Structure 1
């Protein structure tokens, strides 16, 4: 049986979601609650990742994540994934320096959005995800416009994501703030769907909250990982 290796802790709340969702997805696949997947988690420091990005220390971030993936290999994993969107800013470089096959949350999200035949989708996440192009370029290559909020909106989303959601805090005022931004993007940017480009965002935003299709990157990533298991 394949063993999944997760680089976790990015943040801890979503790592718990990954763990539970992989187990439930695997059991659903096998139509039995008497089976469990082989899984190993290497929980690293989310704030160290943010520091590397803030300091524009790309090589430091690559080395940090590469070491984490290599430790998963040493623990017996034969498939790896980074359980967060933001660190995918250096996914390609890490993938080139590790031997384990890695499943990209960005590539898997592009595949799912393409199936919905949308032309314009909104993208929210941490500031690092919204202001860089590691998400936007793959969508452009697929013929889809990925549109981010304004700079002011990005700052608000980032603050609430890091200060609240990363710490497991779900605030209804924050939910209203996010929904107001999404509605503006729908009205002014003409988005046809929304990518929840932070693995904590599904804690706050649910499909019933908006008429737009929501693309839960955690769920998309988990499905791709479960599909790798026997």
Structure 2
């Protein structure tokens, strides 16, 4: 069975959820609770990621993530994932730092949106994910319409994600505001799905409170990871 290396800590809360979700879906696929996947987690500092992006130090960002990936590669893993959306800003450059394949959360999200038949898509996440093109471009290339909130709303969402959700804090007032913003986007753009493009957002937003399906990037990523672990290794 293939082994996976996880670049985690981006943030800690979602890394724990990744770990538990991979185990549950692995056991479900094996149809047994008496098996466990072999995983390696390299937990790095998410605040370094935010700092490098904010200061537009892309070379430092690539080196920091590349170093984390290379450490996992030394453990002889079969594949590597970054357990967050925002660092995928430099995913292709980090992939070049290692020989083993890396599994992209963006690719998993695009495939899931295709399977849903989604056309008008809302994207929520950190400011970096919403304002940059790395996440939106693959959807646009597939002919999808993808929408993000206005700049001031992006800043509000980002601040709450970093100061509260990344630290495991779910504030009821923040939850109400996130829900209001999401409903306004759905109505304004006639959305048929909303992408939770930050792995902490499921802590505060749930599709059961809305009239359309959501696309949880962490869960579709985990699905892809577990499928990869069961694929036969090439000779």
TM-score by length of 2: 0.96
Q: Secondary structure at the match of 1:199?
A: coil
Following superposition, the deviation at residue 190 of structure 1 comes to: 1.9
Match of 2:61 in 1: 61
Per-residue CA deviations over 1:114-168 (Å, capped at 9, x if unaligned) read: 1111211000000010110001100011111111011111111101100100000
Cα drift, residue 76 of structure 1: 2.3
Please give the secondary structure, in 2, of the residue aligned with 1:40. Answer: strand
Aligned equivalents of 2:97, 2:40: Cα separation in 1: 20
- Structure 1 counterpart of 2:153: 153
Task: Using the TM superposition, give the Cα deviation of residue 186 of structure 1 relative to its aligned residue in structure 2, in angstroms.
Answer: 1.3
Matched, 1:162 2:162: yes
1:30-50 per-position Cα deviation (integer Å, ceiling 9, x unaligned): 110000001000000000010
SS of structure 1 residue aligned to 2:102: coil
* TM-score, scaled to structure 1: 0.98
Give the match for residue 73 of structure 1: 73
**In the alignment, which residue of structure 2 is the partner of 1:42?**
42
Task: Assess if the C-alpha contact under 8 Å between 2:198 and 2:217 holds in 1.
Answer: yes
Partner residue, 2:204: 204
User: What SS is found at the alignment partner of 2:103?
Assistant: coil
Deviation at 1:77, TM superposition (A): 1.2
Return the offset for 1:191. 1.6
Q: Which sits farther off after the overlay, 179-188 or 31-40?
A: 179-188
1:14 and 2:9 correspond? no
Question: Which residue number in structure 2 is paired with residue 214 of structure 1?
Answer: 214
Question: Which sections of structure 1, spanning at least 5 residues, go unmatched?
Answer: none
Q: SS in structure 2 opposite 1:68? A: helix
Taking only aligned residues, the RMSD between alpha carbons, in angstroms, comes to: 0.8
**Following the alignment from structure 2 to structure 1, what is the Cα–Cα distance between the partners of residues 155 and 50?**
15
The separation in 2 between residues aligned to 1:50 and 1:128, in whole angstroms, is 9
Q: Determine helix, strand or coil for the equivalent of 1:179.
A: helix
How far off its partner does 1:188 sit?
Answer: 1.3
In the TM superposition, 1:156-195 aligns within 5 A as: 156-195=156-195
CA offset digits 1:59-114 (Å, max 9, x no partner): 10001111101100112211100000000000011112211100000011000001
What is the number of equivalent residue pairs in this alignment? 230
Q: Distance in 2 between matches of 1:27 and 1:186?
A: 36
CA contact (8 A) 2:194 2:213 kept: yes
CA shift at 1:10, angstroms? 0.2
Q: 1:183 offset after TM fit, Å?
A: 1.1
State the match for 1:130 in structure 2.
130
Equivalent residues of 2:185, 2:191 under 8 A apart: yes
CA distance in 2, matches of 1:152, 1:185: 14
Corresponding residue SS for 1:229: helix
Runs of at least 4 residues of structure 1 off by over 2 A? none
Q: CA deviation at 1:171?
A: 1.3
